[in-house]
Amino acid sequence: MAETRLFLVRHGETEWSRSGQHTSRTDLPLTDVGVEQARRLARRLARERFGAVFTSPRLRARETCRIAGLEREAIVTDDLAEWDYGRYEGRTTDDIRSEDPDWTIWTADVPAAGGESAEDVGRRVDRVIDAALAIDGDVAIFGHGHCLRILAARWIFLPPRAGALLELSTATLSRLGWEREQRVIELWNDGSHLALG
């Protein structure tokens, strides 16, 4: 029997993803570029069959899911919401580093800024993984850069902060699967569909 694979889809471009602003709770729509990216994702995902579709409740993820043609089957879960950045919301890394030169989201004390720790996000995505593994068939997951990076790290049994090692661009496709009984990353940050005409 085939093992469940997870197809991770980061949402298309928004104004803040383009500018590099940390975006969690702020509910931004896709830009025109993001809409076109989602259309190209739709063509790529049309080759696949899914036993379930999960999406973040944020507009940018749900919009990407809708344009990709998978909204009707989608289960919306707060566990896929982007990392809550607290007071870092809306700020760029360069802006924050003007005050704290060594700052990264991965090493910052985000709870002290009113947000979540990487470990908090890790607990949420562990629940998503458990739910996905209970599905008969592959699962499409529409979400956000940091949250999906942490999900991939947890898939291969690394701590949540190991997501720092996995770059993830907008509107890309990644696939988490298996080599025999071992959970592996089969495909990562694939944007080849974005070059299609």
Residues noted as catalytic: 11, 82
Question: Could you give the residue ranges of the DSSP H alpha helices within 20-168?
Answer: 32-45, 59-67, 93-97, 118-133, 145-155
Cβ–Cβ under 8 Å, residues 23 and 10 = no
Question: Could you give the residue ranges of the DSSP H alpha helices within the chain?
Answer: 15-19, 32-45, 59-67, 93-97, 118-133, 145-155
Distance of alpha carbon 186 from the chain centroid: 16
Question: 52 vs 39, 78, 88, 136, CA distance in Å?
Answer: 20, 16, 33, 8
Distance of alpha carbon 1 from the chain centroid: 27
